[in-house]
Chains A and B, each alone.
Chain A
Amino acid sequence: MQRHSLTKALFVLPCLLAFVMVMLVPFFYGLFYSLTDWNGVSDSINFIGFAHFGRVFTQPGFLYSFLVTIAYTAINVVLVNVVGFALALLVTGNLRFRNFYRAGFFAPYLIGGIVLGYIWQFIFNNAVPALGAALASQSMQVSLLSRADAVIWAMSAVNTWQYAGYVMLIFIAAIQAIPVSLMEAAKIDGAGYFRRVTRILIPMTANAFTITLFLTLTTSFKQYDMNFTLTRGGPAARFLDQPVNASQLLAMNIFNTAQANHMAEAQAKAVILFVALVVVSLVQVSINKRKEVEQ
């Protein structure tokens, strides 16, 4: 028996070692640094308490990033899930090439945020205006990425394009797990398509919604790559009488703060992001779980 538990301990060791070294230790350092005056250059690091946490909430740039990230996340959660669910409904229907369609809708998920940011920057800044010129449409010739009021929506559209196919696959798995007899019985009882979707499909896929809402929420909240290559935070906007970057999400605000050698302040902002993320996702999961139980 002794020997058995030794084997198992050795089996756990490689993952545990890597996990502790690259996640746990830096995580606790990260919490600690947020309470110091670390600047990334000097080796002397002094404890200063919660000073950064009070200060960052007086910065219009940070407040704006925080609010715009919440708005962006809310838009994404709705758009990605509605589109993903609609796609799942379509491709679980009686179509001829449904596997082909599934593969096509999922394809954008394979492309990373960096690459697709450039692709869509080209589409918004070059392809759409060219189409606008061909159609003699004035409004299409102004890039959405240069309009402070529209840029978040453009980013959400790109995000939906990337994640809807992935979310669709999760919904497909859930829909396929519903017994066919249930849908057939409802059909015989005279329930129309819309009724069958709202009364059977959506309640029966409640556990899938728990997963997809969690995924869309957390990925939007932490988004950096696509934000960086699509807009770099631009265009300029004003908030509380101060100049801010219209599409600078929280993750980019953190990164730029650190690049300006305000490491400890960046850490404090990151800790705020972490706490917000935990609170929001705990609320989301507990609401969804309650909905699952009610069914």
Chain B
Amino acid sequence: MTRRRLAAKVLAEALVVLLLAVFLIPFAMVVVNSAKTSKDILFHTLDLPANWGQLFVNIGLIFNNRTVHYANAFLDSALITFFSLAVIVLFSSMCAWALVRTKSAWSTILFFAFVAAMVIPFQVLMFPLVRWMRVLGDLIHFKLLQSIPGMVFAYLGFGCPLSIFILHGFIKNIPYELEESATIDGCSQARTFFEIVFPLLQPIIITVLILNGIWIWNDYLLPLLMLGSNGAVQTIPVAVTAFAGAYLKQWDLILTSTLIAMLPVIVLYLFAQRYIIKGMIEGAIK
């Protein structure tokens, strides 16, 4: 019996290591081949690079490229992701709290509308969105297309339904007595929220940040349509496709550009891995 159990345990360990190798080999392929010349990639695909210094040569080629402004795209992606996350977290928490703590038909209808909208596929509204953003921008004299604030506004709109849904479930379980006593002590509603409720939301906010952060950093169609394929403002995924389109089958450039696109996420993941996994699991139960 114990022998059988030992055998089962060894088998499970071996299986999991094997599976992990299968899952991680694609990453290794990218790193290894980003450090080769395009000729070496074609003729020595599976070999280790002859000279790791080539990796930095390739990275230099990417950042100094005249056709695709990769450094700009990197900065724009970072700004768009950062500000979108900030407004999504702040406004979704405020909205979710107001909806939970208001008992009226309106709050129920609004919450239902947010939840129902989650099933709308992007394909139905992406083309009308571009047209509407142009009309609306002209109307308010503010550039919504090809602008970072416009992107942030769009991400707030697309990101808030899921965020409100997750936060709503969490806030429902916060005892109301906490806020009640603050109100009795003369605390205003806004202060009650920011000083008492908001700090309590921290664990679920991590979940909201991770889910939205992964989506926004990697999103393709929304920035493609709102910013254009080679406009002044560009995000990383759009820049990567621009590279692949301009340098067909030049795998040294394409693979290196994907490596640079993945790098910030992977580095962040290595450091905050425990929080990310925990945040994702916590979000899953809600």
Tell me the A residues contacting B by CB distance below 8 Å. Answer: 3-5, 7-9, 11-12, 14-16, 18-27, 29-31, 33, 40, 87, 90-91, 93-96, 99, 101-116, 118-120, 122-123, 126-127, 130-131, 134, 161, 165-166, 169-170, 172-174, 176-177, 193, 208, 211, 218, 221-222, 224-225, 228-229, 251, 254-255, 258, 263, 266-267, 270-271, 273-274, 277-278, 281
What is the CB-to-nearest-CB distance from B29 to chain A, in angstroms, rounded to a whole number?
6
A51 to B64, CA, bound (A): 51
**Contact A270 B269, CB 8 Å, known A11-B193, A23-B158, A119-B258:** no
* B residues less than 8 Å from A271 (CB atoms): 124
Which residues of chain B from 26 to 57 have a CB within 8 Å of any chain A CB? 26-27, 29-30, 33, 41-42, 45-46
Query: Contact: B99 with A12, CB < 8 Å?
Result: yes
Q: Which one, A3, A15, A211, contacts B284 given CB within 8 A?
A: A211
* A residues less than 8 Å from B156 (CB atoms): 14-15, 18, 22
* A residues less than 8 Å from B127 (CB atoms): 30, 33, 40, 258, 263, 266-267
Q: Max chain B CB contacts within 10 Å: which of A4, A109, A112?
A: A112
> Does B201 interact with chain A (Cβ within 8 Å)?
no
Between A and B, 24 residue pairs with Cβ closer than 8 Å are A11-B94, A15-B95, A15-B164, A19-B157, A26-B125, A26-B129, A29-B131, A33-B128, A95-B13, A105-B19, A107-B27, A108-B23, A110-B262, A110-B269, A111-B218, A118-B244, A118-B255, A122-B30, A123-B29, A126-B251, A173-B285, A251-B121, A255-B221, A277-B121
> Does B16 interact with chain A (Cβ within 8 Å)?
yes
**Contact A161 B26, CB 8 Å, known A12-B95, A90-B15, A281-B119:** yes
Query: Contact: B26 with A119, CB < 8 Å?
Result: yes
* A residues less than 8 Å from B110 (CB atoms): 12, 16
What is the CB-to-nearest-CB distance from A41 to chain B, in angstroms, rounded to a whole number?
11
> Does B202 interact with chain A (Cβ within 8 Å)?
no
The A interface is mostly helix, strand or loop, or mixed, namely helix
What is the CB-to-nearest-CB distance from B21 to chain A, in angstroms, rounded to a whole number?
9
* A residues less than 8 Å from B129 (CB atoms): 22, 26
Q: Which one, B23, B133, B255, contacts A165 given CB within 8 A?
A: B23
Tell me the B residues contacting A by CB distance below 8 Å. Answer: 8-9, 12-13, 15-16, 19-20, 23-24, 26-27, 29-30, 33, 41-42, 45-46, 87, 91-92, 94-95, 97-99, 101-102, 110, 113-114, 117, 119-129, 131-133, 136, 153-154, 156-158, 160-161, 164, 188-190, 193, 214, 217-221, 237, 240-241, 244, 251, 254-255, 258, 261-262, 265-266, 269, 273-274, 276-277, 280-282, 284-285
Query: Contact: A15 with B154, CB < 8 Å?
Result: no
Query: Contact: B136 with A21, CB < 8 Å?
Result: yes
**Contact A107 B218, CB 8 Å, known A22-B157, A26-B128, A26-B132:** no
How many inter-chain contacts with C-beta < 8 Å in the A-B complex? Answer: 253
What is the CB-to-nearest-CB distance from A119 to chain B, in angstroms, rounded to a whole number?
5
Additional 16 contacts, C-beta under 8 A, given A218-B119, A254-B123: A8-B102, A14-B156, A22-B133, A23-B158, A91-B16, A96-B13, A103-B273, A104-B23, A106-B277, A113-B220, A118-B254, A119-B258, A122-B29, A122-B251, A130-B45, A173-B281
What is the CB-to-nearest-CB distance from A169 to chain B, in angstroms, rounded to a whole number?
5
Which residue of chain A has the shortest Cβ distance to B258 in the bound complex?
Answer: A115
**Contact A229 B125, CB 8 Å, known A23-B158, A118-B258:** no
What is the CB-to-nearest-CB distance from B235 to chain A, in angstroms, rounded to a whole number?
10
Q: Which one, A23, A30, A126, A169, contacts B41 given CB within 8 A?
A: A126
* A residues less than 8 Å from B241 (CB atoms): 114, 228-229
Which residue of chain A has the shortest Cβ distance to B215 in the bound complex?
Answer: A112
**Contact A95 B16, CB 8 Å, known A134-B46, A222-B122:** yes
Q: Which one, A112, A176, A258, A278, contacts B218 given CB within 8 A?
A: A112
